[in-house]
A and B are shown apart, each in its own frame.
Chain A
Amino acid sequence: MASYGSEIGQGAMVPPASAFRATGKRDSIGSWPLVDRVAYALCWTVGIGLCVVAGAIVLFMLVKGISYLRPSLLLEHPSPSQSQTSSGGFLDPIEGTLLLTAVGIAIAAPLGVGLAVWMSEYQRPAWLARLVESGVEMIAGAPSVLLAMFGLVLFARPALAFLSQTSAGGSVFGRSFLTAGAMMSLLALPLVVASTREALMQVPGHVREASYALGKTKATTIRKVLLPSVRSNIANGVTLGVGRIVGDTAIVVILLGATVRLEGAGGAPVLSTLRGTGGTLTSYVLFNSPAGEGNAHEKAYAAAFVLLLMVLALNVVVMGLSSERSGDRARRWRLVPWSLPWTH
């Protein structure tokens, strides 16, 4: 450093090219103080360590999954049995996962997009907008156990009895795909809101003005101009939301009954299932882990493997969606709206 100073100081009006080259040259790590070198090594260790942990998880589950997963498991209904050989497959939990995700997203997606539109395009009155913003953040930070406990009280009200079953004594059960899905939608909501809102705020103002200049109303502008332009961001938020719903267990255990089979409430076929209880892959894994009653390791590993495959597939979708939106570096981490706890 002293040497640049002296070179420049030697009176040249234009600093010699070597001065620029010196800064442009990679500073060699060998010349760093020991502390810096240790810290540098630590960074590498941690970075590679994370990759190793992720690799180990995937590899471990892959080995276990391949050794225990058989096609029949995916196609058979589970049956109540203590022995691992006769307890059937996990067709019902897979259906449960799909059904619950569908219900959750069907609520979260329109709600989230609507909320995001209001928050970025209207936000009147301003105090309400601020309140809603912190509200959404609060929901994002709320543990799913808490949401489930709330749902249990809410949906046990006689007025909401149509969402679940009512016992002979007149008490409302409160546990069903509809009620669990409604609470699951709260898990996905903040993710949908954040990615949609973020994208809407990045749409330049002149796009809106151009639409107004053509005589379009604000509602039409939103519907025909803004929302189509942020479609991939909405899809991204929805995918992240699906990931959270698929991975959550607490709501399933508390609010879906976490039964091994889908138990319809009776009545019209689809509605019966929706109003009935059931389980998902996550609750099936929990049930078959040593912590649950089933305690069938092989089934648990196989189901967890399927679950992990679903998550991996969702990851691939998110990556596909993000590469669609050019690779500028600053936005890379925004794919996951960072102010939100984005998983489970």
Chain B
Amino acid sequence: VSSRVLSRGAAAAERRAELALRALAIGVLAVIAGIAITVFSKAWPSFEHNGLAWFGSGGDVDTQFNAMINGPRDPANYVYHFRAWPLIWGTILTSGLAVILGMVVSILAAVFVVELAPAPVRRTIDPVIRLLAGVPSVVYGLIGILAIAPWVEHNLISKGRKRSVEYVVQLTGANLSVATLILTVMIVPIMVAIIASALESVPSSWTEGSAALGVNRWRTTWRVSLRTVRPAIVAAAVLATARALGEAIMLAMVAGSRGFAPNPLDGATFFFEPVRPLAATIIHYIDDLTVVPVGQTLYAMAAVLLVSCALLSLAGWAAKQPMKRYGIRA
């Protein structure tokens, strides 16, 4: 609207409205900048004292935390020694395995929902997926620790297996496999939603063209539809990874709560070893946040999460670009 047709007062009011809304937008950016600045400035001492070795392995993280908690209280003698690798490895394992597993499940589920399911089934699966997405993580954690973990401990972990590693780590029902499985259930709904929404917007002429060539329904889906939505699949994986990285409560409950780095060389035992990813560790030691070096170490872990999520957010944006070329709204 040209401001000339408005009275001077109305034009000023218009301007004020726009400026107020723009201030909101700037406020959001300020919050993000604030998050980055505070987290990094709080985290710096921990990185500064450990250098790049912070990310390396060496020693037991829980022992290191206890040394900080029981360490001297004067700033000159703070204990900062910390090697985060077991936690980082735990994060990579839980998120990585869950995303790989979730990817397979969600692609199949999305194809099922969009292409194969008859209408009545489709109508039921729709709210089901929304429900799975809405269940709070603490409820997943509760079911995991009270129902699934005891069952796994009694039925899947043999005495011999427990004994084989008893000098290294205690095997319980709360372990990598249970954590991964529940995390998969938690991230599948979002992936299904993304992939299904992309599948639905594949131009029907493309699939019809394939069907007209005599290609069967499955092949059409596999070769035409899924190939078209590849960027959405990548975007889904990226967003699911971000979600898995940030999951704290459920993993604090069912992953074993021990800063242990599972060793793939242990064979099947590997899947029953406890882990504790970064976010879960923050929750685990949150009561000791007031101990300065512990607090700074926790903020350092938050900083690692922040950087990972920012990178993933960037990757998600990049993954969505090709979709725009097809005119599929991402």
Interface, chain A (partner B; CB < 8 A): 1, 4, 23, 27, 31-32, 36, 39-40, 42-44, 46-47, 49-51, 53-55, 57-58, 60-61, 111, 114-115, 117-119, 122, 124, 128-129, 131-132, 134-139, 141-147, 149-150, 152-154, 186, 189, 212, 215, 217-219, 222, 243, 246-250, 253-254, 282, 285-286, 289-291, 297, 300-301, 304, 307-308, 311-312, 314-315, 318-319, 329-330, 332-334, 336, 338-344
Q: Do B25 and A336 touch across chains, with their CB atoms under 8 A apart?
A: no
Q: Do A247 and B214 touch across chains, with their CB atoms under 8 A apart?
A: no
Q: Do B283 and A285 touch across chains, with their CB atoms under 8 A apart?
A: no
Q: Which of B50-58, B66-74, B77-85, B242-250 contacts A (4 or more CB under 8 A)?
A: B242-250
User: What are 29 A-B pairs with beta-carbon distances under 8 A?
Assistant: A27-B217, A31-B216, A36-B216, A50-B132, A50-B192, A54-B131, A54-B132, A57-B132, A61-B139, A119-B25, A134-B317, A136-B28, A138-B309, A139-B28, A143-B247, A145-B279, A145-B302, A146-B309, A153-B42, A215-B5, A219-B17, A247-B136, A249-B137, A304-B139, A312-B134, A319-B130, A332-B200, A338-B194, A342-B193
Q: Do A286 and B134 touch across chains, with their CB atoms under 8 A apart?
A: no
CA distance A163 to B208 in the complex (A): 60
Query: Between A and B, how many residue pairs show CB distances below 8 Å?
Result: 291
9 more CB-based (< 8 A) A-B contacts, given A115-B25, A139-B32: A32-B216, A57-B135, A138-B309, A139-B28, A150-B35, A289-B138, A304-B138, A330-B200, A344-B247
Interface magnitude class on chain B? 35 or more
CA distance A297 to B35 in the complex (A): 37
CA distance A136 to B139 in the complex (A): 27
**Partner among B5, B28, B125 whose Cβ is within 8 Å of the Cβ of A51:** B125
Cβ contacts B26-59/A at 8 Å (1 or 0 each): 1011011011001100100000000000000000
- Write out the residue numbers on chain A whose beta carbons fall within 8 Å of the beta carbon of B306: 142, 146
| B212 interfacial contact with A, CB 8 Å | yes
Q: Do A138 and B313 touch across chains, with their CB atoms under 8 A apart?
A: yes
CA distance A47 to B124 in the complex (A): 11
- Write out the residue numbers on chain B whose beta carbons fall within 8 Å of the beta carbon of A145: 246, 248, 279, 282-283, 302, 305
| B239 interfacial contact with A, CB 8 Å | yes
Q: Do B246 and A46 touch across chains, with their CB atoms under 8 A apart?
A: no
CB nearest neighbor in A for B290:
A171
Interface, chain B (partner A; CB < 8 A): 1, 5-6, 10, 13-14, 17-18, 20-22, 24-26, 28-29, 31-32, 34-35, 38-39, 42, 105, 108-109, 111-113, 116-117, 121, 124-139, 141-143, 145-147, 185, 188-190, 192-194, 196-197, 200-201, 211-214, 216-219, 222, 235, 239-240, 242-243, 245-249, 252-253, 257, 279, 282-283, 286, 289, 298-299, 302, 305-306, 309-310, 312-313, 316-317, 320, 330
